[in-house]
DNA sequence: CGGTATTATCTCGCCCAACGAGATACTTGT
DNA sequence: ACAAGTATCTCGTTGGGCGAGATAATACCG
């Protein structure tokens, strides 16, 4: 009576992976005297840097679901630890852009590097059709999870 | 110059999925006046129930990385909200097993059901070889992430 | 059977991440 | 120049989680 659908095994596996990745990040946080939110912030900052965009304090807080007070405290914390720098925007001097320090990047790489390397190694073992399946499944799940956040009640017109 | 390895795209995609699934859970928590830890606890309890094992307060706290004080507070919170019941173990009367209320299961299903359904639907579109690739990749990543937690410093003897 | 160690949970007091409200500083529109 | 809008910060408070230790039940050992 428990699992009539064999697909549920993979659903549970994906959930287990998400949990394990969260635990992996939490370990990085604890080992470096940080909080989970701090790690999420650093990742968001590095993602923005990779995309070539500047990250302001406000956008960072928004991405993490923090209000302005929490965001200030977060950036204070990261700055005190030397992981980021506050830089006043020259054009709009109300804005504070948050820049990641190089040492934080190195520190992060030393923790996440091995895991990323293993994942890349695994992916090299698959052919194009298998990679397309992995990519398609992950993309679909990401969209399904994100869709719920947008308009959970009413449909949008075409 | 940014991504010489094409595999990195899938690595970032997997990370994005993990983030999105976390946000999905956080939304469930917020909509029902709960905290992320409470949701993690309910999931752990349902997993144990699915596996046919009883979950004690201590094991629950251990699974979530809480100490005993935090665990007591967590179960208090969940019990006050009517999501779980405390049941004294008959054999070892020090133990308190935590049972999930049916309504909490229904509530959870109403939130996570559509996402799970969509994932199952996606998986039905793949053949055995593609499913094996998805399963293999996810299993490998889970193991790589978990390995770091076990013995990061010294090797164990044979 | 009594006594001590061990295990499971709970209580108490504290810390600090995050919140709400509002102050401050800068920019934009009229 | 002045009002309205926007970005960040300050202040006071809440509440999840921690450390230390109390309480209660079980296991070990002579």
How far is the CA of B114 from the CAs of A77, A112, A144, A152, A157, in angstroms?
A: 38, 32, 8, 11, 21
**Cβ within 8 Å, pair A133-B133:** yes
Q: Give percent above pLDDT 70 in chain A.
A: 91
B residues 103-132 lying closer than 8 A (beta carbon) to A: 114-116, 118-120, 122-124, 126, 129-131
CATH class label, A36-100: mainly alpha
**Cβ within 8 Å, pair A20-B142:** yes
Question: Taking all residues of chain A, what is their mean pLDDT, rounded to a whole number?
Answer: 92
Q: Is B36 exposed, middle or buried (0-12, 13-18, 19+ CB in 10 A)?
A: middle
Residues A117, A112: Cα–Cα separation, whole Å: 8
B88 touches chain A (CB under 8 A): no
Give per-residue pLDDT as tens, B1-26. Answer: 555 688 999 999 999 999 999 999 99
- Which of A43, A119, A137 lies closest to B11 in CB terms? A119
**Cβ within 8 Å, pair A144-B115:** yes
pLDDT at A152 over 90: no
Give per-residue pLDDT as tens, B101-117. Answer: 999 999 999 999 999 99
CATH number of B35-100: 1.10.10.10
Give per-residue pLDDT as tens, A63-119. Answer: 999 999 999 999 999 999 999 999 999 999 999 999 999 999 999 999 999 999 999
pLDDT at A122 over 60: yes
Identify the DSSP state of A83.
S
pLDDT at A155 over 60: no
Q: Crossing angle of helices B102-124/A128-150, nearest 10°?
A: 140
Measuring alpha carbon to C1', the residue closest to nucleotide D16 is B70
Question: Taking all residues of chain B, what is their mean pLDDT, rounded to a whole number?
Answer: 92
List of residues 6+ apart from A87 with CB closer than 8 A: A96, A97, A98, A99
């Amino acid at each position: 009576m428990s699992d009539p659908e064999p697909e549920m095994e993979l659903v549970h596996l994906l959930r287990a992976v998400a949990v394990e990745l969260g635990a992996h990040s939490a370990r990085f946080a604890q080992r470096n005297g940080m909080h989970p939110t701090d790690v999420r912030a650093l990742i968001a900052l590095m993602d923005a840097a990779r995309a070539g965009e500047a990250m302001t304090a406000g956008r960072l807080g928004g991405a993490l679901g923090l209000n302005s007070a929490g965001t200030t405290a977060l950036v204070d914390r990261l700055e005190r630890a030397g992981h980021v720098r506050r830089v006043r925007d020259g054009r709009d001097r109300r804005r504070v852009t948050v820049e990641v320090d190089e040492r934080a990047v190195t520190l992060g790489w030393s923790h996440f590097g091995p895991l990323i390397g293993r994942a890349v190694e695994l992916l090299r073992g698959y052919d194009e059709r298998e990679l397309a399946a992995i990519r398609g499944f992950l993309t679909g799940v990401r969209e399904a999870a994100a869709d719920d956040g947008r308009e959970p009640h009413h449909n949008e017109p075409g």
